[in-house]
Amino acid sequence: MKYLGIEPKRPKVGVFDFTGCEGCELQLANKEETVPAFLQAIEVVDFREISSTSSDDYEVALIEGAITRDDEIRRLKEIRKHAKLLVALGSCACFGGVNRLKNGYDLDAVNQEVYGTEPKETLPTQAVKEVVSVDLEIPGCPVDKAEVERIVQHLIWDVPYQFPAYPVCFECKQRYTTCVFELGQLCLGPIARGGCHAPCPAGGSGCWGCRGPAADPNLEEFLQIAKDRGFKKREIKERLSFYGGFEDMP
Amino acid sequence: MTSLFRPYYIIQESEMAQPLDYNRRSRLKHVDQVFRSEIINIIPLTDMEKLFQLRILDGAERERFSFLPGQFVMVEVPGYGEIPISISSSPSHKGYIELCIRRAGVVTGILHKTRRGAVVGLRGPFGTHFPIERMRGNHILLIAGGLGLAPLRAPILNVIENRTDFHDVHILYGTRQPDMLLFNYQYEEWNRISDINLKVIVEQGDESWTGPVGLITDLLKKIRLEPLETYAIICGPPVMFKFVCAHLQREGIPMDRMFVSLERRMHCGMGKCCRCNIGSTYTCLSGPVFDYWTVMNLKEAI
Amino acid sequence: MKVDLNIDLHHLTRVEGHGNIHVQVKDGKIKQARWDVVETPRYFEVMLKGKHYTSAGILTARICGICSIGHCLASLRATEQAFGINITNKAAQLRLLAKHGETLQSHILHLFFLAAPDFLKVPSAIPLLDSHPDIVAAGLRLKALGNRICEVVGGRATHPVSLLVGGVARMPEGLDDLQYDLESAQDDLAAAAELFGTFDIPEFQRETEFVSLKGEEEYPWIGGRLVSSDGVDKAEHEYTVMTNEEVVENNTSKWCKLSRESFAVGALARFNNNHHLLHPQALEVATGLGLKPVCHNPFMNNVAQLVECVHVVHDAMRLVDALQGSDSEPTLVPVTPKAGEGISAVEVPRGILYHHYRYDEKGYITKANCVIPTTQNNANIHHTLRDLVAANAREGMTSEQLELLCSMLVRAYDPCVSCSVH
Amino acid sequence: MLFKVLGKKEFTTFIELLLNDTEVIAPKQVGVDTSGKPLHQYLPVQAFTEIDLSYETTEYSAKTYFLPFRENLSTCSFLDMVWDRQIKYRVQPRAIIGLHACDINALLKLDKVLAGDRFPSPYYISRRKNTFIVGIDHDPCEGGFCQAVGADVVTHGFDLYLTDLEDRYFVAINSERGFNVLQRVKTREPTARDNNDYLDVRRRIAGQFKPLEVHNLPNLMDIEFESKVWKKWADKCLSCGSCAMVCPTCYCYGIEERVSMDNAESAKVKQLYSCQFLDFAMVAGGHNFRPDRETRLKYRYYHQHRGFVEAYEEPLCVGCYRCGRVCLAGINPTDIIGDLQTEYQE
Ligand SMILES: Cc1cc2nc3c(=O)[nH]c(=O)nc-3n(C[C@H](O)[C@H](O)[C@H](O)COP(=O)(O)OP(=O)(O)OC[C@H]3O[C@@H](n4cnc5c(N)ncnc54)[C@H](O)[C@@H]3O)c2cc1C
Ligand code: SF4
Ligand code: SF4
Ligand code: SF4
């Protein structure tokens, strides 16, 4: 619909999946009450998981999943050529996601363990930005559909979108959640990027940092706090490396 | 049993009956109402700035709306956000106001896409103003850098309209490049008015630029001042007004005769959201216009 | 008879994950008829190694974005088996409720948005927004209901956050609203049944072995004995006897077999083995749509899914009722890790899922194995495909028609390919 | 002020009266912390037994019932060039039982900013006027320094205020509304003994506070503007905003406007914010007036103990110590103020 005389353009969107659980793609079909409006605001020209139409004529490419094989690298580069705007959708695409955990092992041994004598082709996990240039990253495991909707709106309006600068803690407080540290559990809330509305601490698991670090996180103090509260190095490390989002941090 | 508490309906209370008047600091509680205003004209100034002429739709509200040079309004594009913008037109001009807006983010970005006829919301005017009354009978320096001409245009027009009230009037304006000059179609007019000294300078000229090249302080050096009978208004980025004010101070102009307009993040304009605090002074209530002495005394102001 | 047909379908659409169909019929002879899974392998079993028990459920949920709750529950149960933990009855009810939400969400997604377009002859559900808005709206409402259940109990629709080792983090809020929504879903379910009644489901029979959990008193979802329609009956921890995984060429997914060259799991298998435990209303829908045990038409898996939707909605109502009236029994019991091995079997939307972990005494995983339903189905899909081609490679059949039929067959299994290559 | 004495049994009746009539918010135990200490929160209650008036403190203040974390300010419906705005203020009456003096004082300070001043906030006033407040006296909470900032006693801003005299409550009545509601139950006039007991309790409470020097803070803040103390504490700050969320007086906010996916309507939502966030003072184009933790942390104290004093002759902080308790990094007002004083003395 037109508003203030601005004719909204309807961007042609392609959705492409690489190594991941397809949970982020699934989110595009979630938040059902606005799905029809969402699908009217954009023109889906390629979305293998829900549609048999396929096309190279897209402006926006949403990339889900990490890159773990040669054919994926080739396919991604091809998509990059067509897309005006390439968006990494979800933590796998943004950081490698949980797939990155395999990078800690020798890949031959990994293959041996799972496939025995018939190893399958695989590369160390890479985030999308490690293979092609990325215009926008939407983190989250899975992504938050409400946030995706807002970002798409900003794309349509052609105005910048700013991710929240605050950490998850803030949203936890706004939900009246009792701090999970108070309950004796580890939580990355103080250093993880907010915007997810803190479902995990509220649900009882503590934050695992799926959205990567908040703007200017105080990692040093966080490590001190975790240590003071008796959490072991191994546990903290496991948590920080879980989604690959804290990979670049010292 | 009748219920224990009678609900209190704020809109029915007597205070609410008063008309909307932000300037008189009324006790009115309906402060979240906006004036629905129509964009009557859009005038592109540069690649980044456009001048918007806005008319309040409701006739009675329009009649009542008045402001002083230096004050700002909160402009709301429903759904996108609300931003502070200085009024760029003359206070004596009734009927519509002019806002010069640079494309910078969400709201300004959307405003730049709207078309004539679109309706936006206005609240205000808010904030302090330049003390034009006090300046009468003095020499006037009006100095702007870059987008600073937007807030300065109101006092410029005000001074021009009341030219006889003032002694010498100097308007100095500088930008980085010639294509960034705002309101260049008006210089001719301002310059033709005898007795107004308008000088424009750019930091980097181009092929077509014939005027002076350099910093705004270069223009200042050429002006002979009578410091104790001069008032100065300086609008522009902090680095610029810091240099200019320091220069003028050395020339002997008292710090409380120089006025600047500060910019801070704002969400309400009413001293509630705290986002514009400098130290702990609300820019929206005690500013945006401050004299230089106050600015010097505000910790973290520049 | 001269029948030449060629299908070279890369990355079949409207299924989860990447798989290819290759068919070549020359002079009426099948040269090849293949279902190849080419999804990139992810090596979850390796990633699990060295992880703390608190991470296992969260990590394995990421095996699949559609059945994340199923994976999480299988993982928790395996860990609890290893530590010798018994969760409370209330926690079990909550978990089952979350599972029902997922089953509903997943089945509806498949039925309305992945499968229905074939029957309505459109490439996706998107054009249906304009042509059949009522159908789309009903589908979205049912899917939303499934997701809401997951959200209320699991804390989030995809990748649950409240399901922990030892039970469920907290008693959910909003059960009243849920009950109301469940009751109001009846009309949409009836509409769905009516819609599927109008669909032309291909007639095709193939004698198949069906594997599922064995229901004792209730339609089975979490844990219990394992059965096959060919008469195998094993305990949960003997799962390897049921799966017999092997690595095959051309496939990043493994293949499984039991009494025959392949077997099937999923809604149809559960129905065939446990139909007598379905809610009467669900059975009525089954009868109405011509689904009778033991059904050997793989396309009828769609109908079995719909029947299960009816069943889980009714069962969810029962669970919500029970939970609302329940006492102050905790939802979470304390957990002390210990060295040991745990195996669990859970019926997820696409069939039976096994998780198997070995723990050290500090609660870190030393070995893990997961057997995914689609992994178990892949061989069967492959073999059925060949039979389907054989039955249809006759005069008048075009490559396009056959491609659609083959695609519909694969989709009928609702394969979760990335899962199968976890 | 009028005083009455209310028996404990009548008090139960009184609360039940409220419960039957309106939404009641009261301190409620929500769990225990790692050391087994009970945790309380102001939450809606359905029965008298859920209320625990002997609570020491709550993690969150009652601020959220006046300044919700998120509040819809208005909605707009669009039609191409024009739009129509709807504003709704909350008017449902509500009662909050068991607020301590500091929390009522906090409301009085918020009143100054949000209900008085040049632009009163209708959203706030509407909630404030529709909330029936019953306060209660209590022994100092751990860490609290309300006496130092003059917030340990409260003389107005409530409807009723209770002092527990073991078998009965001594009730101060501060509003006509309070008076009327109290008339629904049996009360009696205080006797000399009641008065004595009441004053004893007050004296006992007042005698238990630890001193903290704050009177010189407005000046000290300016003198110690460049102090190393700020950096020392700011290095620990996580910029998570928890302090501002639990504080009964922090009122800063941000505005978020959203358009519905079908472009038919929009909502203007106010979200309480924190001055500790990186983008608190960031403007378009990326300039940030307080880019580092040090200036942000300092600003919070500056606002509370200097700016507010300048404007209203009293600090904004009521000494409830909630910010100190919630901070994972252990940043707290007593230590910071203490450090500043020490440094000043050196
Ligand atoms: C008193 C005053 C007068 C101003 N006058 C003018 C003018 O005449 N012409 C002009 O082009 N600009 C003026 N500005 C700057 C203008 O307000 C910002 O450019 C504008 O807010 C950017 O909004 P946005 O939504 O496009 O940017 P975004 O980056 O999307 O900003 C998001 C929000 O941050 C806040 N914000 C961001 N930058 C500023 C800022 N610089 N000042 C205040 N709030 C900000 C606003 O609330 C805005 O909605 C003035 C600012 C102030 C304080
Ligand atoms: S980011 Fe998470 S939800 Fe998204 S594809 Fe990866 S594992 Fe799945
Ligand atoms: S709370 Fe943490 S793990 Fe959970 S969604 Fe938010 S950022 Fe991700
Ligand atoms: S600053 Fe801290 S101690 Fe002071 S009122 Fe706020 S939360 Fe309480």
pTM, two decimals, is 0.91
Phi first, then psi: what are they for B52, rounded to 5°? -110, 130
Q: How confident is the model at residue A168 (pLDDT cuts 50, 70, 90)?
A: very high
Question: Residues B231-287: pLDDT tens digits?
Answer: 999 999 888 888 899 888 888 889 889 999 998 999 988 888 999 988 778 898 888
Given CB atoms, is C358 within the 8 Å cutoff of chain A? no
Best interface-test mutation with C: which of A15, A16, A32, A67 has the largest number of C CBs within 10 A?
A: A32
Note whether C touches D: 3 CB pairs or more under 8 A: no
CA distances from C280 to C286, C305, D220 (A): 10, 15, 78
Name which of A105, A203, A242 is nearest C46 (Cβ-Cβ).
A105
> Which residue intervals of chain A are DSSP H helices?
23-28, 35-41, 70-82, 91-95, 107-115, 145-157, 168-174, 199-203, 219-228, 233-241
Is B44's C-beta closer than 6 angstroms to any atom of ligand 1?
Answer: no
Beta carbons of C172 and C326 less than 8 angstroms apart: no
d(C-alpha D62, C-alpha D47), whole Å: 19
CATH class, domain C44-421, is: mainly alpha
Is the pLDDT at C389 greater than 60, yes or no? yes
What pLDDT, on a 0 to 100 scale, did the predictor assign at position B17? 42
**Closest to B151 in 3D by CA, of B129, B123, B172:** B129
The residue-averaged pLDDT of C196-207 equals: 91
Given CB atoms, is A3 within the 8 Å cutoff of chain B? yes
User: Please, what is the average pLDDT of chain A?
Assistant: 90
Q: For residue A84, give the DSSP letter.
A: S
Which residue among A122, A157, A192 closes a domain? A157
Is the pLDDT at D331 greater than 90, yes or no? yes
Give the atom of ligand 1 at the shortest distance from the alpha carbon of B83: 21
What pLDDT, on a 0 to 100 scale, did the predictor assign at position B302? 66
Looking at CA atoms only, how far is residue A6 from chain C in angstroms? 24
Q: Cβ contacts (< 8 Å) between A160 and chain B: which residues?
A: 105-106, 109
d(C-alpha A93, C-alpha A21), whole Å: 11
- Counting residues of chain B whose pLDDT is more than 70, the rounded percentage is 91
Given CB atoms, is A36 within the 8 Å cutoff of chain B? no
What pLDDT, on a 0 to 100 scale, did the predictor assign at position D222? 81
What pLDDT, on a 0 to 100 scale, did the predictor assign at position B13? 54
Q: How confident is the model at residue B14 (pLDDT cuts 50, 70, 90)?
A: very low
Name which of A41, A189, A217 is nearest D261 (Cβ-Cβ).
A41
DSSP-assigned states of every residue in C137-164 = HHHHHHHHHHHHHHHHHHSSSSS-SSEE
Q: Between 3.90.1150.140, 3.40.50.720, 3.40.50.1370, 3.40.50.80, what CATH number should domain B132-296 receive?
A: 3.40.50.80
Residues A100 and A199 occupy one common structural domain? no
The residue-averaged pLDDT of B104-132 equals: 91
Beta carbons of B279 and B267 less than 8 angstroms apart: no
Beta bridge partners of A3: A6, D80
Q: How confident is the model at residue D33 (pLDDT cuts 50, 70, 90)?
A: confident
CATH dotted code for B2-126: 2.40.30.10
Phi first, then psi: what are they for D262, rounded to 5°? -90, 10
| CB within 8 Å: A33 and C140 | yes
Rounded to the nearest 5 degrees, what angle is found at the Cα of D317, between the Cα atoms of D312 and D321? 170
Question: Residues D207-226: pLDDT tens digits?
Answer: 888 888 888 888 888 887 88
Is the pLDDT at C211 greater than 90, yes or no? yes
Amino acid at B91: P
The residue-averaged pLDDT of B172-197 equals: 84
> Which residue intervals of C198-326 are DSSP H helices?
239-243, 267-274, 280-288, 301-324
Is the pLDDT at B29 greater than 50, yes or no? no
What pLDDT, on a 0 to 100 scale, did the predictor assign at position D1? 82
| CB within 8 Å: C62 and A141 | yes
Give the atom of ligand 1 at the shortest distance from the alpha carbon of B99: 8
- Phi-psi domain of D130 (left: phi exceeds 0; alpha: psi -120 through 50; beta: other): alpha
Q: At what angle do helices C301-324 and C267-274 cross, to 10 degrees?
A: 70
Instruction: Supply the residue whose CA is at minimum distance from atom 4 of ligand 4.
Output: D317
Q: How confident is the model at residue C329 (pLDDT cuts 50, 70, 90)?
A: confident
Q: How confident is the model at residue B26 (pLDDT cuts 50, 70, 90)?
A: very low
Q: Write out residues 146-185 of A within 8 Å (CB-CB) of C.
A: none
Question: Residues D271-310: pLDDT tens digits?
Answer: 999 999 999 999 888 888 999 999 999 899 989 998 888 8
Q: How confident is the model at residue B30 (pLDDT cuts 50, 70, 90)?
A: low
CATH (domain of A75) = 3.40.50.700
- Counting residues of chain C whose pLDDT is more than 90, the rounded percentage is 73
Residues A118 and A178 occupy one common structural domain? no
Is the pLDDT at D107 greater than 80, yes or no? yes
Residue among D318, D325, D326, D334 whose CB has most ligand 4 atoms within 8 A, to mutate: D318
Q: How confident is the model at residue A1 (pLDDT cuts 50, 70, 90)?
A: low
Q: Cβ contacts (< 8 Å) between B9 and chain D: which residues?
A: 89, 91
Residues A59 and A125 occupy one common structural domain? yes
Q: How far is the CA of A54 from the centre of ligand 3 (A)?
A: 33
What pLDDT, on a 0 to 100 scale, did the predictor assign at position D120? 83
Please tell me which chains touch C, using 3 or more CB pairs under 8 Å as the contact test.
Answer: A
What pLDDT, on a 0 to 100 scale, did the predictor assign at position C1? 56
| Buried b / exposed e along B226-263 (16+ C-beta atoms within 10 A) | eeeebbbbbbbeeebbbbbbeebeebebeeebbbbbbb
Residues having CB closer than 6 A to ligand 2 are A 20-21, 23-24, 64-65, 90-92, 97-98, 141-142; C 62, 65
Beta carbons of D141 and D206 less than 8 angstroms apart: no
Is the pLDDT at A28 greater than 50, yes or no? yes
What pLDDT, on a 0 to 100 scale, did the predictor assign at position C40? 86
Is B232's C-beta closer than 6 angstroms to any atom of ligand 1?
Answer: no
| CB within 8 Å: D74 and B32 | yes
The residue-averaged pLDDT of C375-394 equals: 91
Instruction: Supply the residue whose CA is at minimum distance from atom 2 of ligand 3.
Output: A207
Q: Cβ contacts (< 8 Å) between D81 and chain B: which residues?
A: 117-119
Residues having CB closer than 6 A to ligand 4 are D 246-249, 304, 317-323, 333
CA distances from C282 to B207, C265, C312 (A): 82, 19, 9
d(C-alpha A24, C-alpha A142), whole Å: 5
Beta carbons of D150 and D142 less than 8 angstroms apart: no
| CB within 8 Å: B31 and D121 | yes
Q: Which of A145-159, B215-229, D71-85 shows the highest mean pLDDT? A: A145-159
**Closest to A248 in 3D by CA, of A76, A118, A130, A119:** A130
Which residue among A108, A124, A157 closes a domain? A157
Q: For residue A25, give the DSSP letter.
A: H
Given CB atoms, is A191 within the 8 Å cutoff of chain D? yes
Write out the residue range of the structural domain in which residue A202 sits: 168-241
- Is A20 or D225 the better-scoring residue by pLDDT? A20
Is the pLDDT at A45 greater than 70, yes or no? yes
Beta bridge partners of B73: B85
Overall size of chain A counted in residues = 250
Name which of B1, B79, B281 is nearest D259 (Cβ-Cβ).
B79
Q: Is D95 helix (H, G, I), strand (E, B) or coil?
A: strand
CA distances from A45 to A7, A84, B33, C126 (A): 21, 14, 43, 10
d(C-alpha C378, C-alpha C262), whole Å: 9
Q: Which residue has the tokens 């909003």?
A: C174
What pLDDT, on a 0 to 100 scale, did the predictor assign at position C9? 87
Give the end-to-end CA distance of chain A in Å, rounded to a whole number. Answer: 48
ipTM computed for the complex: 0.90
Is the pLDDT at B93 greater than 90, yes or no? no
Looking at CA atoms only, how far is residue C233 from chain A in angstroms? 27
Class of residue C131 by CB neighbours under 10 A (exposed 0-12, middle 13-18, buried 19+): exposed
Q: Which residue has the tokens 């006829």?
A: B117
Q: Cβ contacts (< 8 Å) between A37 and chain D: which residues?
A: 260-262
Give the atom of ligand 2 at the shortest distance from the alpha carbon of A90: 1
Q: Cβ contacts (< 8 Å) between D88 and chain B: which residues?
A: none
What pLDDT, on a 0 to 100 scale, did the predictor assign at position B28? 45
Given CB atoms, is A158 within the 8 Å cutoff of chain B? yes
Is the pLDDT at C303 greater than 50, yes or no? yes
**Is residue A193 situated within a structural domain?**
yes
Question: Residues B144-168: pLDDT tens digits?
Answer: 998 999 999 999 999 988 888 888 8
Please give the interface size between A and B, counted as residue pairs whose CB atoms are below 8 Å apart. Answer: 34
| CB within 8 Å: A5 and D59 | no
Instruction: In chain B, list all ranges with CATH 2.40.30.10.
Output: 2-126
What pLDDT, on a 0 to 100 scale, did the predictor assign at position D117? 67
Name which of D181, D252, D306 is nearest B274 (Cβ-Cβ).
D252
Q: Kindly state the tokens that stand for C91.
A: 């926690």
Indicate the domain borders of chain D: 2-67+89-206, 217-250+274-345
User: Please, what is the average pLDDT of chain B?
Assistant: 86
| CB within 8 Å: B109 and A4 | no
Best interface-test mutation with A: which of D30, D63, D240 has the largest number of A CBs within 10 A?
A: D240
| CB within 8 Å: A118 and C247 | yes
**Closest to C354 in 3D by CA, of C275, C238, C261:** C238
Give the atom of ligand 1 at the shortest distance from the alpha carbon of B108: 26
Class of residue D3 by CB neighbours under 10 A (exposed 0-12, middle 13-18, buried 19+): middle
